[in-house]
């Protein structure tokens, strides 16, 4: 079958293209901007890429068009597809019907930590000998690729880990992607207001999460941290599956099947206890309470398919990490630079809190580009100032896409803060406090390319 993908260079659609190719389909696709690293991955996979949306690429007609959720009415290919009655579907629907339906699907959802927790879960299952397939919205360094089929190959059986995104499926299907995934094991890491471009309030997001909970079979599992009101409100709307909750060992919460305790305050080691009081420990290179909790959720999810606590903790102790999730992109005797995908105030705060616990009194500089749709709209403006409290200095980048008052955020910071609207100005501001410092950590926080700032800062330091 010839499958043509509109909007192929996004992480999800590019990964989907590679899975379709592995299944034996002829795959081609187009996007507005065809550039590395995804274009390189696709070309190496033998997938034909076209830049732009000239409808001539749909002649002769492919057997099926998969429409990315960035495509909208008015797009030339979309209009040609509709006018000529060509067969089409959304990416999540194709994934669900052609790959996930016959698998045991382990879905990881939530506002933050989906990519990291999915990567941890895939690592655990692989270490446990289950050879899972996966589709993850990032590149796990343990595997070096964002998607693969399960070892079964023909997808007649096996295990599949999927990052379950709440974003909508396509212009013609405004349900969240994750309702298509035929999940058997579901992790809900956390739940906050985000994606203000498609959700009007938190209740609208919770409604989609409850649609997902409704799809989990009675023999399946729903795993989430105890005591999180936004999640519990979703569960209270009705849950017909096995519930497993997570809590700290010192927590007064009643009934959690999984409990954890930090052995080091920076989260670099922690202990996990299951419902049978078995204990095991994780000792790893990562930091932060949020990462420890991500790890416990992955352990609980892996246990639902028979991976023991001991094996899971061994796997996590070897977990390398994910590209662009506190990824070290430069390190010398004085300065360490991290690339982090922070897209929400809570993600910024937990990341910086974890780093502070790890590096104690060493200097931390946070460089933040408010780039997600919600951040660009200014809807988190009131809580952004406090998200950087753990740093020693904050630099805020005001790109042309931001039309709200970032200066008010800088003014509200408890630490020295500066707003820059020019990359050269930002580079100068970032380098200045590093002069003569003994030890410093620079965290670049953006979910995009940041106009090449990462590369320019590293080049200046080198």
Assess whether pLDDT exceeds 80 at residue 381. no
How do residues 128-142 score in pLDDT, each as one tens digit?
999 999 999 888 888
- In the CATH scheme, what is the homologous superfamily, with its name and number, of domain 2-86? NAD(P)-binding Rossmann-like Domain (3.40.50.720)
**pLDDT above 90 coverage of the chain, percent:** 63
Assess whether pLDDT exceeds 90 at residue 120. yes
Could you report how far apart the first and last alpha carbons of the chain are, in Å?
49
Would you place residue 154 in the very low, low, confident or very high pLDDT band (cuts 50, 70, 90)? very low
How do residues 343-371 score in pLDDT, each as one tens digit?
678 888 888 988 898 888 999 999 998 86
Q: What is the pTM of this model?
A: 0.81
Q: Give the full edge-to-edge strand order of the sheet including 327-331.
A: 327-331, 335-340, 440-445, 363-368, 393-397, 417-420
Assess whether pLDDT exceeds 90 at residue 43. no
- Alpha helices for 237-318 (secondary structure H): 289-303, 309-317
Instruction: Answer for the pair 281, 269: CB distance below 8 angstroms, yes or no.
Output: yes
Would you place residue 235 in the very low, low, confident or very high pLDDT band (cuts 50, 70, 90)? very high
Q: Where are the beta strands (DSSP E) in 47-145?
A: 48-51, 64-67, 88-90, 104-109, 133-135
Cα pseudo-dihedral 154, 156, 160, 165, rounded to 10: 90
Assess whether pLDDT exceeds 60 at residue 372. no
Please report where in the chains the tokens 């009101």 appear, as a residue: 229
**Rounded distance between C-alpha atoms, residue 256 and residue 213, angstroms:** 19
> How many CB atoms are closer than 10 A to CB 314?
16
**Rounded distance between C-alpha atoms, residue 188 and residue 196, angstroms:** 20
Q: What are phi and psi of 347, to 5 degrees?
A: -65, -40
Question: How far apart, in Å, are the Cα atoms of 357 and each of 154, 287, 344, 376?
Answer: 46, 8, 20, 30
Question: What is the per-residue pLDDT for 382?
Answer: 63
Instruction: Answer for the pair 323, 138: CB distance below 8 angstroms, yes or no.
Output: yes
How do residues 444-453 score in pLDDT, each as one tens digit?
988 777 888 9
Instruction: Answer for the pair 338, 324: CB distance below 8 angstroms, yes or no.
Output: no
Element (H, E) at 396: strand 393-397
**Rounded distance between C-alpha atoms, residue 329 and residue 428, angstroms:** 19
What one-character DSSP code corresponds to residue 11?
Answer: H
Reduce the DSSP state of residue 218 to 3 states and report it. Answer: coil
- Please name which of 383, 401, 390, 394 lies closest in space to residue 447, comparing C-alpha atoms: 401
Would you place residue 38 in the very low, low, confident or very high pLDDT band (cuts 50, 70, 90)? confident
Question: How far apart, in Å, are the Cα atoms of 76 and each of 4, 9, 48?
Answer: 15, 18, 19
Cα pseudo-dihedral 301, 228, 286, 358, rounded to 10: -160
Q: What is the CATH number of domain 327-461?
A: 3.90.190.20
How do residues 281-339 score in pLDDT, each as one tens digit?
999 988 888 899 999 999 999 999 999 999 999 999 999 888 777 888 899 999 999 99
Question: What is the per-residue pLDDT for 155?
Answer: 45
What the block records as the tokens of 8 is 């192929």
**406 vs 199 pLDDT, higher one:** 406
How do residues 190-207 score in pLDDT, each as one tens digit?
898 666 667 788 899 999
Fold of 94-317: 3.40.1190
- Please name which of 234, 242, 291 lies closest in space to residue 262, comparing C-alpha atoms: 291
| Every domain of the chain and the residues it spans | 2-86, 94-317, 327-461
> Do the domains at 2-86 and 327-461 have one common CATH topology?
no
What is the overall mean pLDDT for the chain?
Answer: 90
Per-residue DSSP letters for 120-155?
HHHHHHHHTT---EEE-SS-BTTTSSSEE--TTSSS
Question: What is the per-residue pLDDT for 371?
Answer: 67
Question: What is the per-residue pLDDT for 147?
Answer: 92
How do residues 45-98 score in pLDDT, each as one tens digit?
899 999 999 999 999 999 999 999 999 999 999 999 999 999 999 999 999 999
């Amino acid at each position: 079958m010839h499958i043509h993908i509109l909007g192929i260079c996004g992480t999800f659609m590019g990964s989907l293209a590679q899975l379709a190719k592995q299944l034996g389909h002829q795959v081609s696709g187009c996007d507005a901007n065809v550039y590395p690293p995804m274009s390189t991955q696709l070309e190496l996979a033998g997938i034909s890429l076209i830049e732009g949306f000239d409808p001539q690429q749909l002649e002769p007609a492919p057997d099926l068009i998969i429409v990315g959720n960035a495509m909208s009415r008015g797009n030339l290919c979309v209009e040609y597809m509709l006018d000529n009655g060509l067969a089409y579907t959304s990416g999540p629907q194709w994934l669900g019907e052609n790959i996930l339906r016959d698998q045991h699907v382990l879905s990881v959802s939530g506002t933050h930590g989906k990519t990291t927790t999915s990567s941890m879960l895939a690592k655990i299952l692989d270490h446990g000998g289950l050879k899972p397939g996966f589709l993850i919205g990032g590149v796990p360094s343990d595997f070096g690729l964002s998607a693969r089929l399960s070892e079964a190959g023909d997808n007649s059986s096996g295990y599949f880990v999927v990052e379950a995104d709440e974003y909508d499926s396509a212009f013609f299907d405004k349900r969240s992607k994750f309702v298509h995934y035929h999940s058997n094991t579901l992790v809900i890491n956390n739940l906050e207001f985000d994606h203000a471009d498609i959700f009007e309030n938190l209740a609208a997001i919770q409604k989609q999460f409850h649609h997902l909970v409704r799809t989990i079979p009675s023999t399946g599992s729903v795993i989430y941290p105890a005591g999180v009101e936004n999640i519990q409100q979703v569960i209270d709307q009705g849950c017909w599956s096995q519930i497993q909750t997570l809590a700290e060992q010192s927590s007064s919460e009643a009934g959690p099947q999984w409990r954890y305790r930090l052995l080091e305050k920076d989260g670099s080691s922690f202990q996990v206890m299951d419902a049978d009081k078995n204990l095991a420990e994780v000792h790893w290179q990562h930091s932060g309470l949020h990462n420890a909790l991500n790890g416990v959720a992955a352990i609980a999810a892996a246990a639902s398919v028979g991976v023991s606590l001991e094996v899971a903790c061994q796997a996590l102790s070897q977990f390398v990490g994910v590209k662009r999730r506190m990824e070290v992109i430069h390190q010398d005797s004085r300065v360490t630079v991290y690339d982090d995908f922070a897209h929400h105030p809570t993600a910024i705060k937990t990341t910086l809190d974890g780093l502070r616990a790890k590096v104690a009194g060493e200097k931390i500089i946070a460089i933040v580009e408010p780039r997600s749709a919600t951040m660009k709209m200014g809807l988190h403006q009131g809580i952004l100032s406090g998200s950087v409290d753990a740093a020693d200095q904050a630099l805020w980048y005001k790109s042309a896409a931001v039309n709200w008052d970032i200066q008010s955020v800088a003014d509200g910071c408890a630490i020295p803060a500066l707003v820059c609207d020019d990359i050269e100005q930002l580079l100068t501001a970032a380098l200045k406090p590093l002069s003569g410092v003994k030890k410093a950590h620079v965290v670049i926080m953006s979910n995009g390319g940041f106009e090449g700032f990462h590369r320019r800062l590293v080049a200046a330091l080198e």
